[in-house]
Amino acid sequence: MTATVLVTGARAKTGAPAVRQLAAAGADVRGGSSDPGGVRVPGVTPVRFSWDKEETWAPSLDGVDAVFVVRPDRADAPDVVARFVELSHPDTRVVLLSETAQGGYGPDDWAPRVEAAVHDSGRPWTIVRPGWFMQVLTDPRFFLDDLAQGRLPFPSGDARLAWIDARDIAAVAVAALLDPAHEGLTHVVSGPESLTLAETAAVLSAGLGRPVRHDDVDVDVALTGIDGFDREITEDTYARVRRGEFAEVTDTVQQVTGAPARSLAQFVADHADVLRG
């Protein structure tokens, strides 16, 4: 039977490859976006979905077998996600894109409360916890413009990141959306190696054939122009990076998908045109 799957963030870095992979696997895919006209993937039905517009939730969920919840980064996410999932049929499989929790969270912290909204929902669930996405390097909202100027400004304090390709996160999520074997599991996913930001810049330089320099800027500089809750979680994320909490390498991608996680060098080769501007 064809599975009907809703992806709440069809334009997001992991949601976009997830809708493509689900369509390739033969699923009936609904690509949720507040801008459905921006979801143009063969075999994917764009649907209007916005965390800000509660009236879009129930129609998006109607008749779905599984939903990929691309976590919304907003202070009220624990409540919003709980109310959204509550509208789904009790048998709906719910897969949440969360983030690595290495180093430990308190139960009252924001990220575990979003996860609790899913695993306390009574629905069959899977949590996917990735580290930093390689796709921040090609995202104009993150590092793309800096890289065009040969700079990678990142307040890492020489800590390492096990960069992961969002295509691999999506592959793990898709497995969980389509296969009940993943129910009740938390998948911690990472890339195949843990790199300092200087090593990251070196991989970019080699792949692009031109110099890219890491600037270990102050956290305050990296937070310039970021306000409100976004600033709070971004500041917390940089603190966690600096404590080494995004350095863990796991073999989850290989275990779940049967293929090794893509390296940063592979990512740079695949996106060299975009990265070169």
Q: Considering only CA atoms, which of 131, 152, 261 is closest in space to residue 205? A: 152
Rounded CA gap, 46 and 52, in Å? 17
Stretch binding ligand NAP (CB under 6 A), from 126-134, 150-158, 179-187, 221-229: 126-134
Q: Which of 12, 27, 127, 204 binds ligand NAP (CB under 6 A)?
A: 12
Binding of residue 248 to ligand NAP (CB under 6 A): no
Half-sphere exposure of 153 (CA within 13 A, CB side): 15
Q: What is the footprint of ligand NAP within residues 251-270 (CB under 6 A)?
A: none
Q: Which of 71, 113, 262, 271 binds ligand NAP (CB under 6 A)?
A: 71
Rounded CA gap, 202 and 248, in Å? 20
Binding of residue 78 to ligand NAP (CB under 6 A): no
Stretch binding ligand NAP (CB under 6 A), from 31-39, 144-152, 208-216, 262-270: 31-39
Q: What is the footprint of ligand NAP within residues 87-106 (CB under 6 A)?
A: 97, 99
Q: Which of 23, 29, 33, 240 binds ligand NAP (CB under 6 A)?
A: 33
CB of 237 to ligand NAP, least distance (A): 8
Nearer Cβ to ligand NAP, position 53 or 276?
53
Q: What is the footprint of ligand NAP within residues 171-210 (CB under 6 A)?
A: none
CB of 73 to ligand NAP, least distance (A): 5
Q: Which of 15, 17, 192, 207 binds ligand NAP (CB under 6 A)?
A: 15
Stretch binding ligand NAP (CB under 6 A), from 29-37, 82-90, 184-192, 216-224: 29-37
Q: Which of 41, 136, 144, 217 binds ligand NAP (CB under 6 A)?
A: 136
Nearer Cβ to ligand NAP, position 11 or 187?
11
Q: Do residues 160 and 245 lie in contact, with contact meaning Cβ atoms separated by under 8 Å? A: no
CB of 77 to ligand NAP, least distance (A): 8
User: Over 43-110, what HEC string results?
Assistant: CEEEEECECCEHHHHHHHHCCCCEEEEECCCCCCHHHHHHHHHHCCCCCCEEEEECCCCCCCCCCCCH
Binding of residue 14 to ligand NAP (CB under 6 A): yes
Using CB under 6 A, list all residues that contact ligand NAP. 9, 11-15, 33-35, 50, 70-71, 73, 97, 99, 130, 132-133, 136
